[in-house]
Every structure is written in C-alpha cells, then in structure tokens.
Amino acid sequence: MADVLTTDAVAPRQRVAYWQDMVCQTFVQARCDSRIGASFRGCICTESFGETEISRVDAGPQRILRRPIDIARASKPRFYLCYHAAGHARYRERNLENVLGPGDMILLDNCEAYSAEYEEPVTSVVLHVPHAVLRDRFRLPERVLGRKLDGSRGYPRIAGEFLQSCIAQGHLLSRTQRPAISAMLLNLFTTVLAEELGEQAEVGTHQAILLARAKQYVHAHLRDPGLSLENVAGAIGVSVRYVSRLFQRDGLSFGRYLLRQRIERCRLALANPALASVRIGEIALDNGFNNFAHFSRVFRETQGCSPSEYRARAFEPLRG
C-alpha cells in the first residue's frame, strides 16, 4: 500500500514547514524553503518494491538543500535516481550544475551535499536504492553522480517510462511480485548508467546484471538447505562455471556469499522483538541451516558471540 503525504493536510501557513518534514521522512534530512510561502503545495507518494522504493513527488517552486550538517544524520545510505516527468529544476552536486527538464534524469547520493531548485511546479519520480544494492550491480556509481542523463529517447526513455508505470500501477501489485519489479528496474537503470560512461561498460554491465539476478535468486531461496550453485546457474541461464566466476570476481565465493546471507538473515531475526518467542533452532532451520552445531559455530565466528548471547544483548535495551 502506498504511503501518501500531502501539504493539504495542514493549514496554508504551515505547508512549507510540513513539506520539510515530509522530505526528511521520505528521503533524508534537508532544508526546504519556498518563495511562494502559504501558496506552496506538495505531495509525495511512495511505494515499496522489496529492496528499493519509488516515490512520485509533485511540488511547487522550492529549494532543497542537503548540507554537510545533514549528512552526519544519514542513517540509511541511499542513491536516488531522479526522473523528471514535468517541469524544470536546477541540481548541484560535486561541483556540477545541471538544469533538468521532462525526460531527464540525475543520480544523487544522500551521503553527499547537493541542492535542487524548482522555479516552477515539478513532477519527478525517484528510485531509492541502497548503496550496497547499486554497487552490487554497478561499479563505482560515483562516476556518474550529478550528471544530467538524457532520458528523452532510446533505452533511457524506456527505463524512465517503466519507472513511472511502476509507481502508477504499484497498488495493483502483490507483495510477492514487487521484488521482481525491483530487479527489472535495477537492471534497466544499471544499463542506463553504464551507457552514460560509454560502450566499454557494456560487458561489465551484463555481468553485473547476471550477478544481481544470481543474488536475487539466492535471497529468494535462502530457506532451502539444498540451494546450490547448479540451482542458481539454471535459474539465470548460464553455466555453473560462469556463475562461480561471477561470485569470485565480486570478492566472495558462492559458498561464502550464501553463508554470509544466511547468517545475516538469522542475525536480524534474533534481534527482532516480534520473534522473541521463536526458538533459535527454528530460526536457523528457517534460513537454510539443517545442522545447529554448524550454525552456532559459524555464527560465533562471524559475530563474536553465540546466537543466544547475541539475542540477549539485542533485547537488553528493551528491558530498561
């Protein structure tokens, strides 16, 4: 279900201040102001798509400043792929200044200072991507930060229109369909970013897309204790040797990556108060471990304590 925030919910004289709260809640800490004061209106509609989110922003003339003091408060490092559907805005990041119009895109990083100035009403659609998720698919996204990406034709236009359709039709999608949509979006925009850097990026991008698909399959099947490299290779349509090389080039073998994801899933479950009554053995079994002794040993090696000790420490602040 979409999360909708609108300045229509408050009195006109409170709209700009409320808008700043809306921006901080949806994106990051930032300073917002508008020359039209009480006449300002804005709306943000956000849909979750698994590991990504999409927000449609409709807003009047304004200025948004992401200052160094705000960056210190960033608890969730995110990249924002902003697609302009209507209106014009001026963006500044990394000493680059660009005016974006309908069809244009820009990649921003909430861990860096930037600004956006709307001189007229603007509609933009923003894809929120965690740093780790984009970097899994595209090496050094910083290379394209702050650049104006022309989305008026070709592949970028297809990607932009697909992004708009996702937020427009999001309410019709089930929870199980959303991760697949997220994967398609990431594949599309990874290619858009690679094309901005030239044709040399095409091979690396294809490999990054395959690796992303492989990781997505792993995440979706972590509960299966029999999950194997053969399963993953068959799911993405490549040889076992090729998918093994993809993981190795990314810095971890398939086996190590699988183990790390399972341990991380268990760690999060152990720290979740809603699962406090679930036995540790059940959590391990539910995440693909069919040998409790093996799970306990690996957990201690990676986290520095036993699963029961970790759970106790996680719940300690809740006990007051």
DSSP conformation letters of 251-292: TS-HHHHHHHHHHHHHHHHHT-GGGTTS-HHHHHHHTT---H
Topology of domain 3-204, CATH: Jelly Rolls (2.60.120)
Question: Distance between CA 260 and CA 239 in Å, rounded?
Answer: 23
DSSP 36: T
Higher pLDDT, 72 or 40: 40
Question: Distance between CA 199 and CA 102 in Å, rounded?
Answer: 25
Band of the pLDDT at 319, cuts 50, 70, 90?
Answer: low
Q: Using one digit for the tens of pLDDT, what is the confidence trace for 157-205?
A: 888 898 999 999 988 888 878 887 888 888 888 888 888 877 444 445 5
DSSP 120: S
- Report helix, strand or coil for 116: strand
**Backbone dihedral angles phi then psi of residue 146, each to the nearest 5 degrees:** 80, 0
Q: Which of 78-82, 152-156, 183-187, 208-212 has the lowest mean pLDDT?
A: 208-212
- Residue 137: name the closest of 57, 82, 212, 64 by CA: 212
DSSP codes joined into one string, 146-191:
T--EE-SSHHHHHHHHHHHHHHHHGGGS-TTTHHHHHHHHHHHHHH
pLDDT at 316: 79
Residues of the chain with CATH 2.60.120.10: 3-204
**Backbone dihedral angles phi then psi of residue 309, each to the nearest 5 degrees:** -65, -40
Output b/e per residue, 6-37; b: 16+ Cβ within 10 A: bbeeeeeeebbebbbebbeebbbbbebebeee
Q: Are strands 122-130 and 78-86 parallel, antiparallel or unpaired?
A: antiparallel
Q: Using one digit for the tens of pLDDT, what is the confidence trace for 255-304?
A: 999 999 999 999 999 999 889 999 999 999 999 999 999 999 999 999 99
304 alpha carbon, distance to own chain's centre: 29
pTM: 0.64
- Report helix, strand or coil for 39: helix
97: Cβ contacts below 8 Å, ≥ 6 apart: 90, 91
